[in-house]
């Protein structure tokens, strides 16, 4: 996928594999999860190196992947507990994450977080520099590693560096609140290409560079002149492996399980929410809207059931502990208020599920309620659409997700508007089948056309073109 002669290096916070000890022997276990597994497949074909935080890797400093027939090397970066606390739980999850999602009151601008973030980015740079010298291009992922492009550029002037920012990039007045805004922007500008999900996020970034660094920016062309180089900024909306989800959803065993689930619940229509348990995902607001829907439209009592699946996430961070309590309380209140002798309006699963189980839920649902308060893209929306092989089912989608940029045939809502969301649920559940089908056909087309392979190809090809032009 790249035109350069060297091997590709990927750098990310999380590794695609976990090292596990079983019966006294170490084994490598693949992390399931959309994007990482696709990048892993790409690396298995292309070869190269993947550098990532090596949680639990002990003294192991390189392993061939896949272990049974190595195609590329995984180089773990070991971090101390203190570094994990301050760089990952601290600066990444309590500064950049809330800031980028516009939750300023949840930001904790602590100097010790910043120091650890700098030190860990340096550790990643060192891990890269200690690897084979022919690794070029390098593709760095996400907000955990914003200083890395600058650190690598200092060492290797001609290295081709791509950076992808997976979450929203906030508007300039919000980003400028960050005490270390200048350092973060300078770090990112070590890249040749910086990708975002949406043109809007790219525009915000360009504006920030102009406001904070006063660097010459071409907003139309998406370029920045910085330290004698030209940096390209663009939108590359990430997709999913459409055919993988489509194939699973057509599997008769999974289809049967979906029917079984419907029979067990015994209602006419199922509403589904699937998220990491995160305050950005709007789960509490969604529950309030469902409660309002039940108050306002009693004719649906006994006829609908909402299933909310939440994967435990960042469980050591205080904000996530209180969010969990808030959601538990709302669920207790709604089920207590509305349940009848035979009908329970709400089911809650607090756990991760294997992909087959997720598809079962996607298939069993009549309506997906995907209402983050802010989200870079939201892959769940795309996975649900790819699983609707019969071209049926409804989708309510927050206007503040990147996915709303392409999934325009969804019912688009403002997730903060509880009354509006309750009415949207009513509208979606009452929609004629022909209308649902018309919308789902177009949604599926959109997800199929720009899948994750398109995303990888278009990003790496753009990076390759930029490097060629520079030479
Ligand atoms: P996330 O915030 O993690 O990703 P999302 O894009 O929705 O959000 O991806 C969640 C992933 O977790 C999906 O692939 C989904 O299948 C999986 N998942 C959800 N519930 C699960 C469960 N119960 N069990 C197992 N797996 C489950 C960040 C950004 C997003 C951006 C992605 C990719 O915040 O905006 O879309 O990166 O760039």
DSSP 398-412: ETTBGGGGT-TTSEE
Through-space distance between the first and last CA atoms of the chain, rounded to whole angstroms: 19
pLDDT for the residue 23: 66
Give residue 81 CA to ligand 1 midpoint distance, Å. Answer: 25
pLDDT for the residue 33: 60
59 — pLDDT class (breaks 50, 70, 90):
confident
How many other β-carbons are positioned within 10 Å of the β-carbon of residue 237?
21
42-46, 158-162, 282-286, 355-359: least confident range: 42-46
Q: Is the pLDDT of residue 41 over 90?
A: no
Crossing angle between the packed helical segments 242-250 and 355-364, to the nearest 10 degrees: 70
Average per-residue pLDDT for the chain? 94
pLDDT for the residue 24: 64
2 — pLDDT class (breaks 50, 70, 90):
very low
Q: Is the pLDDT of residue 22 over 80?
A: no
Give residue 62 CA to ligand 1 midpoint distance, Å. Answer: 28
Catalytic residue numbers? 166, 375
Give residue 380 CA to ligand 1 midpoint distance, Å. Answer: 6
Q: Is 449 exposed, middle or buried (0-12, 13-18, 19+ CB in 10 A)?
A: exposed
Q: Which residue has better confidence, 469 or 59?
A: 469
Give the helix/strand (H/E) hosting 87.
Answer: none
How many other β-carbons are positioned within 10 Å of the β-carbon of residue 414?
14
| Mean predicted confidence (pLDDT) in 132-147 | 91
Give residue 383 CA to ligand 1 midpoint distance, Å. Answer: 10
Q: What are phi and psi of 324, to 5 degrees?
A: -60, -40
pLDDT for the residue 34: 63
Residue ID of nearest Cα to ligand 1 atom 22: 352
- Pocket residues for ligand 1 (CB within 6 Å)? 33-35, 166-167, 238, 274, 276, 309, 311, 352-353, 358, 375-380, 383
Minimal CA–CA distance to 182: which of 147, 155, 225? Answer: 147
- 273-305 tens-digit pLDDT: 999 999 999 999 999 999 999 999 999 999 999
pLDDT for the residue 4: 47
Q: Which two tokens stand for residue 222?
A: 């998406």
Residue ID of nearest Cα to ligand 1 atom 8: 378
Q: Is the pLDDT of residue 1 over 70?
A: no
| Mean predicted confidence (pLDDT) in 132-159 | 93
pLDDT > 90 in the chain, percent: 83
Shortest-distance atom of ligand 1 to CA 375:
35
Shortest-distance atom of ligand 1 to CA 166:
38
Residue ID of nearest Cα to ligand 1 atom 16: 380
Could you tell which of 276, 277, 383 is best to mutate to test the pocket of ligand 1, judged by most ligand atoms within 8 Å of the CB?
276
Shortest-distance atom of ligand 1 to CA 352:
24
Bridge partner residues of 310 (DSSP): 275, 350
Q: Is the pLDDT of residue 405 over 50?
A: yes
Minimal CA–CA distance to 374: which of 146, 171, 87? Answer: 171
Residue ID of nearest Cα to ligand 1 atom 17: 33
| Mean predicted confidence (pLDDT) in 452-470 | 93
Residue ID of nearest Cα to ligand 1 atom 14: 34
Could you tell which of 249, 380, 382, 402 is best to mutate to test the pocket of ligand 1, judged by most ligand atoms within 8 Å of the CB?
380
Distance CA 408, CA 413 (A): 11
Cβ contacts of 357 within 8 Å, gap of 6 or more:
none
| Mean predicted confidence (pLDDT) in 393-397 | 98
Residue ID of nearest Cα to ligand 1 atom 3: 276
Distance CA 192, CA 65 (A): 28
Answer whether 413's CB lies under 8 Å from 400's CB.
no
3 — pLDDT class (breaks 50, 70, 90):
very low
Give residue 442 CA to ligand 1 midpoint distance, Å. Answer: 23
pLDDT for the residue 68: 81
| Mean predicted confidence (pLDDT) in 138-149 | 97
| Mean predicted confidence (pLDDT) in 446-469 | 94
Shortest-distance atom of ligand 1 to CA 309:
23
| Mean predicted confidence (pLDDT) in 192-199 | 98
pLDDT > 70 in the chain, percent: 97
Give residue 122 CA to ligand 1 midpoint distance, Å. Answer: 28
Distance CA 113, CA 119 (A): 10
Q: Which residue has better confidence, 317 or 95?
A: 95
Q: Is the pLDDT of residue 108 over 90?
A: yes
Q: Which residue has better confidence, 134 or 178?
A: 178
β pairing state of 367-370 and 394-398: parallel
- 327-342 tens-digit pLDDT: 999 999 999 999 999 9
220 — pLDDT class (breaks 50, 70, 90):
very high
| Mean predicted confidence (pLDDT) in 381-390 | 98
What is the Cα Rg of the chain in Å?
Answer: 23
pLDDT for the residue 225: 97
Shortest-distance atom of ligand 1 to CA 353:
24
| Mean predicted confidence (pLDDT) in 351-372 | 96
pLDDT for the residue 467: 87
pLDDT for the residue 31: 75
């Amino acid at each position: 996928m790249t035109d350069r002669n060297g091997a590709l290096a990927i750098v990310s916070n999380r590794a695609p594999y976990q090292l596990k000890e079983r019966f006294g022997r170490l084994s490598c276990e693949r992390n399931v999860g959309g994007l990482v597994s696709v990048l892993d497949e790409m690396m298995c074909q292309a070869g190269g190196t993947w550098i990532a935080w090596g949680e639990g890797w002990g003294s192991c400093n390189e392993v061939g992947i896949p272990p049974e027939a190595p195609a590329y090397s995984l180089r773990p970066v070991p971090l101390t507990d203190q570094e994990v606390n301050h760089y990952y739980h601290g600066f990444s999850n309590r500064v950049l994450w809330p800031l980028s999602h516009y939750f300023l009151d949840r930001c904790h601008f602590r100097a010790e977080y910043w120091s650890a973030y700098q030190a860990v980015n340096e550790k990643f740079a060192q891990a890269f520099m200690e690897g084979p010298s022919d690794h070029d291009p390098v593709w760095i992922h996400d907000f955990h590693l914003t200083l890395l492009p600058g650190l690598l550029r200092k060492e290797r002037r001609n290295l081709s560096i791509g950076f992808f920012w997976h979450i929203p990039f906030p508007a300039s007045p919000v980003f400028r609140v960050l005490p270390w805004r200048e350092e973060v922007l300078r770090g990112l500008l070590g890249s040749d290409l910086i990708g975002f999900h949406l043109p809007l996020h790219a525009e915000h970034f360009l504006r920030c560079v102009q406001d904070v660094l006063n660097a010459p920016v071409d907003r139309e062309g998406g370029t920045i002149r910085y330290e004698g180089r030209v940096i390209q900024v663009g939108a590359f909306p990430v997709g999913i492996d459409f055919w993988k989800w489509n194939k699973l959803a057509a599997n008769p065993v999974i289809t049967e399980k979906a029917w079984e689930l419907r029979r067990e619940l015994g209602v006419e229509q199922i509403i589904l929410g699937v998220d990491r348990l995160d305050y950005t995902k709007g789960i509490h607001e969604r529950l309030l809207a469902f409660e309002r829907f039940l108050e306002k439209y009693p004719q649906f009592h006994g006829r609908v059931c909402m299933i909310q699946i939440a994967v435990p996430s960042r469980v050591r961070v205080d904000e996530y502990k209180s969010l969990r309590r808030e959601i538990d309380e709302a669920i207790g209140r709604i089920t207590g208020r509305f349940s009848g002798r035979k009908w329970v309006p709400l089911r809650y699963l607090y756990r991760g599920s294997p992909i087959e189980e997720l598809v079962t839920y996607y298939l069993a649902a009549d309506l997906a309620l995907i209402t983050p308060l802010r989200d870079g893209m939201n892959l769940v929306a795309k996975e649900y659409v790819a699983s609707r092989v019969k071209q049926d089912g409804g989708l309510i989608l927050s206007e503040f997700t990147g996915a709303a940029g392409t999934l325009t045939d969804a019912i688009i809502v403002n997730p903060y508007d509880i009354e509006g969301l309750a009415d949207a649920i009513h509208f979606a559940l009452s929609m004629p089948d022909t209308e649902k089908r018309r919308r789902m056909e177009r949604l599926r087309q959109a997800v199929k056309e720009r899948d994750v392979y398109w995303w990888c190809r278009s990003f790496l090809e753009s990076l390759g073109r930029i490097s060629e032009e520079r030479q």
